[in-house]
Every structure is written in structure tokens, then in C-alpha cells.
Amino acid sequence: MTKNYIYHVKKSAFLKQQLQKRTTNRRGVAATTGQKRKTASLRRQEKNMKTMLREDCKSISKRAEEVFEPLGATKMSASQSTRSMVKGFVKQQVSVGSEDPFIIVDLSSVARRALNWKRLMPRVELFYAVKCNPNPNIVRLLFKMGCNFDCASLEEIKLVRDVMEEEVKLNPAFHLAQQMGDRIIFANPCKQTSHMKYARENHVKMVTADNEFEITKFKQFWPEAEIVIRIKTDDKNSVCAFSSKFGATISVAKKMIQQSKELGLNVVGVSFHVGSNCKDPSTYASALDDSKTIFDFAAQVGYDFKLIDIGGGYPGKDSQEVTFEHITKVVNEKMEQHFADSSIRVIGEPGRYMVTECQTLATNICAKRDQRLIEEGHSQDFLYYVNEGVYGTFNNIYFDHMIVNESNINILKKKRQMKKPLEPAPRFSSTIWGPTCDSVDKLCYSIPLQELDIGDWLFFSDLGAYTSCCSTNFNGFKLTKFFYVYKC
């Protein structure tokens, strides 16, 4: 991400703020001619900034070939529908005799998300949560765009390090140790000692902790670490709650700070995670209030905290309940209230927000059973068997609350229908199974579908978050292959 771009987003946000303040003034008191002139000039400046922002996005589009093609991505037209893109890849697969499932990764969607983050929360540095989708090409792209990384383990730190090492080869002036220190946070509050040692040896500096035992581990294995205290949040309105597992209560956080002071450790700030897929923006506001309490306490103890980490939790897709933009408004306001001091570094660790939309999965129907023929009083009309299941990409049915139903299944018929039927096809009660010999390997049960055939393809959008990262080879099925694209 260019310095220019960051300057533009910051300036644009500042101007917007000024304008908001002026509008509030105007509501109460009639504006003087001078005020009106100033407001008009601010509006003009804001408009110019917006134009510049758009131009900066365009300049990234102009550099698209340079950015995406080295990552093996194929160019697609921005107006091409997902259906037609999947159709193209299916055709290609069929022509080489393959019926294997595949995933299309749209790298430009990840880039757009990063730009949107910067636009809506210019103050918050983006530390991508690698766990959500550790695809090296996604990490490479975000690294090139100037983003940073939240790593949960030795292997994730190593992955980011490997990407940085590629840069060292291209640019000998690149300072690996410094970048490891500035651009990674080891954000797993409960760590294996060997992972702490690896992080330390590889120049990682920032690391989270949420209990007193972890603090004693720092004294022994990593005394110069920049410790960030992770506090508990009220995550009842998040789809995946974490607070039963992680986070210090306010009183434990205070004890940890005192203990660290006595041990001569370097505590630098506060972090929290509101729970993944958070439906209630006010959770961020409460967590920022609690963070402020801890900042104030730390100051009394003699620490000068300089980091606030607002974690993840942002939606992968906007819904009626919550939008990313709404969350950013709440966060920006609270930061202005509690952490206006610009010397405080503010970081965030988005996972699903960055990658949910970037992956589309296509899977092939490899077997079928007509229950109407064999079972009297049958509960299901058809059973289908596809070649991707819960031990593969659909592990998110168990781990991430994914529900497969008629609204998110897209059908590509093997045989092209010559004429559009006059009547909609009749629906049958259908169950879809994954490919393994385990009966928990089920995508959905008893949903209304038109009759499908062996060889038809089903495709599913928005499968980029917490999917491929948990796939296995169970029963000898290979991991699903990726095709990379960018839209321009």
C-alpha cells in the first residue's frame, strides 16, 4: 500500500471529522459567513481527497498485472459473474478429464478488503489473522500491500518469515529483523515454550498474554518481549465466542501488570477479541472502555502503554444485523474518546473480514441414490454424494457454524439445457453427503432441490474463511486444489 494512499485516507478521515463537527455546531447556532465559507472549503477538500483515494485505488488496478500475476492469478473481467467464471473452470477441468473439486481464489477481493479497511479505519493498522486462511499467496499479497500479520504459532510465524525472505532476495536493503519486529504480533495468549523461543530468535517483539503463569514464562524465556495484555470481552453476541477460553478479567489484568512491574518486564498495551463474527458493534465500545481502564491503571503503576489491539470479529459479509462500516464508526468514535493520542499505535487483527468472499468452491456429484425406489415411506427422495465434505472445505459446518441449504447451493448441470423450461423444476427432499466413508460427513439433510445427476457440479461462494485451513486428507482424499484469479 503506497504511503501516498495512507496519507490520503488519513487526510480524508480528518476532513470528514471536521465537517461532522461543523454540522453539529450549525444545528445549535446559526453559522456566520466565515463559518459557511470554511465549511464549503472543507467540503471541497473532502471531495478532492475522495477523488484522490479513488485514483489511488485505480493506480492499484493499473498495477494489477504486476501485483497479481506473479502470484499465478489469471485476469478476469470485473463484470464477469461467479457462475460464468466457475463454468469456465469446470469446462477446463472436464476437458482434461478431471472431476476433482476446486477452489477459485479471487486475490483482488482480498486487496479490495484491505483498501476498504484503510479507508474506513485509517488509524488502525491491519494485522491479518493468518489462521483464518494461511494461503501463502494471500500472505504474499497482503505483505506487498504493506499489511502486517497476527500469528498464532511457530508455523504461522515461519510462513510470514518465509514470505519476507522472498523480499530480501529482491531487495537487499529490506531489514528482515526489523520487519519481523514491527509487522508481526504473536497473538496466542497461551503459548508453547518452544514457540516463544522461536519467536524470540526470529525477532518478533509483540506478544499477547492473559494470565499470571504466562507472565512467569516471559521472565524465564523471553524477558524483553513487548507484552500485550489480552482482556476478556462480553462476546454473547458473537457467533464464535472466545471469552470462556481467553482473556483476563480487569482484576486479573491489573494483577498481571503489577506482577510484570515487579519482574521488570516490558508490558506495552492491551488487546481484546470480541468473538468471531460479532453481531453487536457496542461490544467493541465496551472493550475499548475496559482497555482505557487498564491503560490508566498501568500509568499508575509506572508503565506508559503505547499499543491497543482491537482484535478481529468483523463480519465476512455485511448483514442486516451488522455491517463492517457500522463497527468502524463505533470503533473510530471510541478511539477518539479514549486514545486520541497519536503516539499510541492502534492495530486490528481481521480474519474472516479479509477472506470470506475470496473463495468459491466447486464440487462434483459423483454418486446418487433414489430412495423412492428402495424405501417404503421414505423420508428422503434423493441422496447425493459429492467429492468435497466435512473433512475438507466443509469442515466449517462443524467448526464455523456454516449451514448448507437450497439458498447457497448453486447448480451447474452437466448437460446444457437447450430450452429454458416453462415451469420450474419440481423439488425433491434431498440430502448431500461428502465423499468419505464416515456418516458424519454430511453437508445438509432434507432440503428441497430439483433432481440432480451424476456429473453435475455444485458451487458455493464465500468459502474463504476458516475452511481450507482445517481441511484434512482423511480417507486419502487430496486437499482441494486452488485456481487464482483477479478481477480488473
Ligand X SMILES: Cc1ncc(COP(=O)(O)O)c(C=O)c1O
Query: Among residues 349 and 441, whose Cβ is nearest to ligand X?
Result: 349
Closest-CA residue to 454 (of 386, 357, 379)? 386
DSSP, res 102: E
What nine digits make up the cell of 326? 457500522
Cell numbers 482484535 label which residue? 311
Cell numbers 483498501 label which residue? 115
Question: Cα-flanking dihedrals φ and ψ of residue 269, to 5°?
Answer: 180, -165
# of chain residues touching ligand X (CB under 6 A)? 16
Q: Which stretch binds ligand X (CB under 6 A): 127-135, 190-198, 317-325, 471-479?
A: 127-135
Query: Among residues 152 and 344, whose Cβ is nearest to ligand X?
Result: 152
Query: Among residues 242 and 384, whose Cβ is nearest to ligand X?
Result: 242
Of 273, 334, 338, 487, the one binding ligand X by CB under 6 A: 273
With beta carbons less than 8 A apart as the criterion, state whether 125 and 148 touch. yes
CB of 326 to ligand X, least distance (A): 16
What nine digits make up the cell of 305? 502503554
What nine digits make up the cell of 190? 497461551
Query: Among residues 49 and 228, whose Cβ is nearest to ligand X?
Result: 228
DSSP, res 294: H
Using CB under 6 A, which residues numbered 129 to 168 contact ligand X? 129, 131-132, 150
CB of 191 to ligand X, least distance (A): 12
Does 276 interact with ligand X (rule: CB under 6 A)? yes
- How far separated are the first and last CA of the chain, in Å rounded? 17
CB of 406 to ligand X, least distance (A): 27
Cell numbers 492491551 label which residue? 270
DSSP, res 61: H
With beta carbons less than 8 A apart as the criterion, state whether 50 and 12 touch. yes
Among 57, 278, 358, 437, the one annotated catalytic: 437
Query: Among residues 311 and 435, whose Cβ is nearest to ligand X?
Result: 311
Query: Among residues 150 and 156, whose Cβ is nearest to ligand X?
Result: 150
**C-alpha distances in Å from residue 366, one per residue of 164, 414, 425:** 42, 12, 21
With beta carbons less than 8 A apart as the criterion, state whether 314 and 323 touch. no
- Residues 6 or more apart in contact with residue 418 via CB below 8 angstroms: none
Cell numbers 478511539 label which residue? 335
To the query of whether residue 437 is one of the catalytic residues in this protein, the response is yes
CB of 389 to ligand X, least distance (A): 23
Torsion sign over Cα 208, 211, 212, 214: negative
Q: Measured at the alpha carbon of residue 56, what is the angle toward residues 51 and 60, in degrees to the nearest 5?
A: 145
Site string for ligand X, 335-364 (x = CB under 6 A): --------------xxxxx-----------
Query: Among residues 159 and 187, whose Cβ is nearest to ligand X?
Result: 187
Site string for ligand X, 163-202 (x = CB under 6 A): ------------------------x---------------
Cell numbers 423439488 label which residue? 427
Question: Cα-flanking dihedrals φ and ψ of residue 331, to 5°?
Answer: -65, -45
**C-alpha distances in Å from residue 385, one per residue of 362, 415, 457, 477:** 14, 18, 11, 14
CB of 350 to ligand X, least distance (A): 5
CB of 298 to ligand X, least distance (A): 21
CA distance 294 to 288: 10
CA distance 486 to 484: 7
CB of 47 to ligand X, least distance (A): 33
Amino acid at the residue 244: S
Site string for ligand X, 233-272 (x = CB under 6 A): ----------------------------------------
**Range list of H helices, 231-374:** 250-263, 282-301, 324-338, 352-355, 371-374
**C-alpha distances in Å from residue 140, one per residue of 3, 145, 147, 153, 417:** 19, 9, 10, 18, 42
CB of 158 to ligand X, least distance (A): 18
Query: Among residues 165 and 325, whose Cβ is nearest to ligand X?
Result: 325
Query: Among residues 53 and 207, whose Cβ is nearest to ligand X?
Result: 207
CB of 271 to ligand X, least distance (A): 8
Site string for ligand X, 302-331 (x = CB under 6 A): ---------xxxx-----------------
What nine digits make up the cell of 132? 483464518
Task: Tell me the catalytic residues.
Answer: 437
Contact residues for ligand X (CB under 6 A)?
129, 131-132, 150, 187, 273, 276, 311-314, 349-353
